[in-house]
Amino acid sequence: MKRVTIYDVAREANVSLATVSRVINGSSVVKEATRQHVQDAITKLGYKPNAIAQGLALQRTTTIGLIIPEASFTYTGQIINGLLDVARIYNYNVMLHTITEGITDAEKIVDVIIKSRVDGVIIYSDKMMEDSINMLNHYNIPIVMIANKGSGDSLCSVYIDVVKAIKDLCNRYIGYGVRDIAVLDDRRNRNSARLMAQGAKTAFEQNGLEWNNFITIPNEYRSTYRFVSQYFETHKHQLVIANRDSQAMAVVNAARENGIKIPEEMEVICLIDTKYNSAVRPKISSFSIPSYDLGAVSMRVMTKMLENDRITDREKCLNYLFTARQTTKNY
Q: Give the separation between CA 234 and CA 215, rounded to whole angstroms.
A: 13
Site for its own copies in 276-295 (CB under 8 A): 276, 278-281
Q: How many residues bind DNA (CB under 7 A)?
A: 30
Q: Give the separation between CA 306 and CA 156, rounded to whole angstroms.
A: 12
Q: How far is the CB of 204 from its own copies (least distance, A)?
A: 29
Q: Could you say whether residue 139 binds DNA (CB under 7 A)?
A: no
Residue 214, classified by CB atoms within 10 Å of its CB into exposed (0-12), middle (13-18) or buried (19+), is middle
From the CB of residue 282, how many other CB atoms can be counted at a distance below 10 Å?
Answer: 17
Q: How far is the CB of 171 from its own copies (least distance, A)?
A: 29
Q: Which does 285 bind (CB under 5 to 8 A by kind): its own copies, DNA, none?
A: none
Q: Which does 19 bind (CB under 5 to 8 A by kind): its own copies, DNA, none?
A: DNA
Q: Which does 321 bind (CB under 5 to 8 A by kind): its own copies, DNA, none?
A: none
Lay out the site mask for its own copies across 182-221 (x = CB under 8 A, - = otherwise): ----------------------------------------
Site for DNA in 58-87 (CB under 7 A): 58-59
Residues forming the site for DNA (CB under 7 A): 3, 5-7, 14-22, 24-25, 29-31, 33-35, 47, 49-50, 53-54, 56-59
